[in-house]
Amino acid sequence: MTTQVTSRSGTGREPAAARRTVEELLRRVEDELRAFLSAERDVWAGVDERAVVAVDALADLVASGGKRIRPAFCLAGHLAAGGERDDPGIVAAAAALEMLHVSALVHDDVFDASSRRRGMPTVHAKHSALHRRHGWQGESRRFGESVAVLVGDLALVYADQLMSRAPSTAVPVWNTLRSELMIGQYMDVAAAAEFSVDPRLSRLIALVKSGHYTIHRPLVVGAAVAGRSELAPVFRQYGEAVGEAFQLRDDLLDAFGDSADTGKPAGLDFTQHKMTLLLGWAMQRDEHIRGLITEPHHTPAEVRRRLLDTKVPADVEAHIADLVEQGRKAIADAPLSPAWRNELTDMALRVAYRSA
């Protein structure tokens, strides 16, 4: 249910041994997340019925799936660097990355006023509805969003608690990864509000909030747990390229994908005026797109049609292919075994050509 990044092959071959090892460790990451949350629930269950609500919200989100991209790259970084597959520290580090991601999703859904995530109501939507149903005091929107902020805060704390089970060699990159995420998210929110056409800024945001956060730093966390921090420059080159491809696919999926596959509403970037590279380029070619998106009653279908007319989606596809190739080249001469070079190339393909 949760291992799309590793279980979908871009090549149609049988999963190789490297990938099977990542998949096996991903199952241990699931166990770690479940066991951690269950132990926390036990701590709080006797205190008050309200004391477990936030823990349960996180358990629901973890159980609802997700692609587990960041844990997968963290595990791959560790194993590719020659790390022990039975090191419990790497499972904890990968689980920490997923818990951090859960935190980011819960807060992100508030910023985007999004109603669905992983096929379920978002935390704020669920708790706003609960507030309305009970006729509680105050504003339902504020209540739901406050709960979501606290649930995300708790996940941020839990992420750190999980990471404290990994070797301290991972702490510096873990710190960098987290502050980059918050600052990248702020830049994203600010650029959407300003809505200025600036592909340089769009690329910078994609780099800070996706390239580093999703691929580059998780690989380096894995290598650091294995005591191989000298691989950081290679993983940076690979991760920045593949991370940009990941973000560009995200933009295309948001614009043209199926909400049944992605588990979240389609066209959210348009309604939120997200200054993606896709939109930035398209607006440079067709100035009417800007007016269309800022028009409150636009439909995603209209935006999609005009985007296709600009031919930018095809250019983005070509750019994705180029980035995957850059990623492959970045590791071509790295001190990694051929099996792990292959697996990282396959992972780049699966991330760049995923359908959800």
- Per CB under 8 A, residues contacting a copy of itself are 40, 44, 47-48, 50-51, 53-55, 103, 107, 110-111, 113, 131, 134, 136-138, 142-143, 145-147, 149-154, 156-158, 160-161, 164, 168, 171, 175, 178-179, 182-183, 185-187, 189-195, 201, 204, 208, 272-273, 294
Residues in the chain: 356
Nearer to a copy of itself, 27 or 134 (CB): 134
Nearer to a copy of itself, 134 or 329 (CB): 134
Q: What CA–CA distance (Å, rounded) separates 276 from 270?
A: 9
Nearer to a copy of itself, 52 or 331 (CB): 52
Q: Are residues 265 and 299 in contact, defined by beta-carbon separation less than 8 angstroms?
A: no
Question: Which tokens sit at 97?
Answer: 């990355």
For residue 201, the minimal CB distance to a copy of itself (Å) is: 7
Nearer to a copy of itself, 21 or 247 (CB): 247
For residue 138, the minimal CB distance to a copy of itself (Å) is: 6
Q: Are residues 128 and 143 in contact, defined by beta-carbon separation less than 8 angstroms?
A: yes
For residue 114, the minimal CB distance to a copy of itself (Å) is: 12
Nearer to a copy of itself, 116 or 273 (CB): 273
**Nearest Cα to 217, choosing from 202, 231, 198?**
231
Number of Cβ within a 10 Å radius of residue 154 = 19
Number of Cβ within a 10 Å radius of residue 67 = 19
For residue 225, the minimal CB distance to a copy of itself (Å) is: 16
Instruction: Name the H helices within 212-337.
Output: 217-225, 232-256, 259-262, 268-271, 277-285, 288-294, 300-310, 312-332
For residue 176, the minimal CB distance to a copy of itself (Å) is: 9
Nearer to a copy of itself, 29 or 54 (CB): 54
Q: What CA–CA distance (Å, rounded) separates 223 from 230?
A: 8
For residue 326, the minimal CB distance to a copy of itself (Å) is: 22
